[in-house]
Chain A
Amino acid sequence: MNHSQFLVSGFLRAPIYNGIGRQINQLQRVTLKFCKSHGSSQGMRNFIENNLVDFAKQNDSVVLYVKPRRHRSPVIVAEYLNGDRKWMSCHNRPSEEILKWLSLLSLQAGDTEPIRYRKHWHTDVPSIQGPWNPFTHKNPGHIIAEYPHEGLGRVFKAPQSATEKLLKIAKKRNESENKKE
């Protein structure tokens, strides 16, 4: 399938040049919503019992909220520094999968839709040699040259003419005959 037909195209980007000075984690808070009794929240409950504290210790820049609510399916809501809010249903998901999704969310920079990169690099200052003009990379010596100029007017790589070829052959033959004598 040709992905460029439905993938939005764009360039690599980072909020406030994140990473040039200091890399800051873009995920700022996560809310885990679940039911204390319903079966669909089993995986979420297991995650909260077994993995939540470790996850919180590893990601101390993320604020974690746990919100029980009756008879509703479990949900992850992730909020990012750029104001994005990502809602994810975790209905019947096992705890391992929830951990994987959370790890993915903690590495993202927002509610990022996949984009087709037009280039694998991006710069706002594309030129380091200034705009082109007809004199770019021209030899300044040509300014004072007088035309017609023998050197400058010379044809590059002129093909050998038939006369030159014949003369060359004749010269070779004469040389070989001289050697024999």
Chain B
Amino acid sequence: MSLLRISSRVIFSSNATALLFNQQKAAIHRFVRPTLFEIRARKKKLEELNGPPKPVPRSEFLEWNHDAEIYAFGKRLKEDFNFQLLQQAFIDRSYIVQEEMKQRSVGVENPLVNMSDNATLAKKGEELITEFVISFLNLSLPKFPREGVKAIYRHLVSDEVLAKVSESIGTKELILSSDYPPRSDVYVNTLKAIIGALFESSGEAKAYEFIRDFICTQLSQVDINEFWNYGENPKELLEEICKDKKLGEPEPRLIGQMGKNTLLAVSHVGIYANKKMLGSGFGEDIQTATEEAIKDSLRNFFKTNCNMKPFDFRMPVEKVANSLNKPVIAAASVDNI
């Protein structure tokens, strides 16, 4: 479109030269410039006094229909919501308090706000997110230790990630809260309440699909090894794993060295158990290389190395729901995360 605009500008400028030579140029009135100057100066003065102007909520515009917006919100997500529940999902506690204060300030002694906030829906949504995300991760990374799964889970349900998801599906203008733009925890609460409302209106499977499509997909293009640093002592962890698998004692061996005593020195260390290579790593000295090699062997055991299979974001939710009934995975999701 800007191309069009540029080309139109080119045409216009040729017209302008034509105008210059043949006809009189359309004049801008002499009062325009000083008026704009004055308006700008006054705006600047006001800003110095009161600070920068606050962002105006879209809902304060004349063309705003809250019900239509909520209807379109549901349709955008391709879900069938119960309208009342979806309405409720956008009401934050702070909004109700604010409304009550408003009524009190006018002189109403027993303020009556006929609204209920989204706390219960958000609680339900949070439960659904926890159980689904944990079992999704457990199914996707069957060999990854519990602590690692918990670390990834903590990243996924962190305020930054959930608030970003919430804002990106268009909750910003719909949220009823005391401040605008909404705080990040209000964004998060609203997203959870929307999931709770979806559970109440269309059932568990739809809610799980929503979580899979909007929350679990935030794991794409992310290095999952970043969230967990292999515990306190990766070497002990590797020794334990080798003991469990009866592979023998893991031992580091120098398998290559180049550019010794130079700036570009590199050592290559492999970890071997019973003459079988578990993994290898490199670094500027032997110690760093050994640490890297231990991490690489752990990644090979956990199946989370660089060329791991990507997450299956189209995993049927029934599979995850079924795994929730299995005691092993259910226990993992319940034990205090």
Contacts and interface: CB of A to CB of B under 8 A. Distances in A.
Interface of A: 6, 15-17, 20-22, 24-25, 28-29, 31, 60-63, 65, 67, 79, 81-83, 113-114, 123-125, 127-130, 133-135, 138, 140, 143
Contact of A61 (B6, B72, B306): B72
A143 B165 CA distance: 51
A143 B220 contact: no
A17 B218 contact: yes
Interface of B: 1-3, 6, 58, 62-65, 68-69, 71-72, 75-78, 164-165, 168-170, 172, 212-214, 216-218, 220-223, 255-256, 258, 266, 268, 282, 306-307, 313
A107 to B, nearest CB: 13
B222 to A, nearest CB: 8
Contacts of B214: 16, 21-22
B213 A21 contact: yes
Nearest to B264: A134
Contacts, number: 92
Contacts of B63: 31, 65, 67
B123 to A, nearest CB: 24
Contact of A25 (B65, B76, B255, B258): B76
Nearest to A131: B282
B170 A28 contact: yes
Q: Is the interface of A mostly helix, strand, loop or mixed?
A: loop
B164 A63 contact: no
B213 A128 contact: no
B217 A123 contact: no
Given A16-B164, A20-B220, 16 more contacts: A17-B220, A20-B217, A22-B78, A22-B213, A24-B77, A29-B69, A60-B75, A61-B75, A63-B69, A81-B168, A81-B170, A113-B2, A133-B266, A135-B266, A140-B255, A143-B256
Given A20-B220, A127-B306, A28 B255 contact: no
A135 B282 contact: yes
Contacts of B216: 21
Contacts of B78: 22, 24
B84 to A, nearest CB: 19
Contacts of A16: 164-165, 168-169, 214, 217-218
Contacts of A24: 76-78, 169
Nearest to B217: A21
B268 A135 contact: yes
A65 B58 CA distance: 13
A22 B220 CA distance: 13
Nearest to B58: A79
B72 A62 contact: yes
Contacts of A17: 217-218, 220-221
Contact of A67 (B62, B71, B77): B62
A124 B213 CA distance: 20
Contacts of B213: 21-22
User: Taking each of A24, A114, A123, which has the highest tally of chain B beta carbons within 10 Å of its own beta carbon?
Assistant: A24
A21 B313 contact: yes
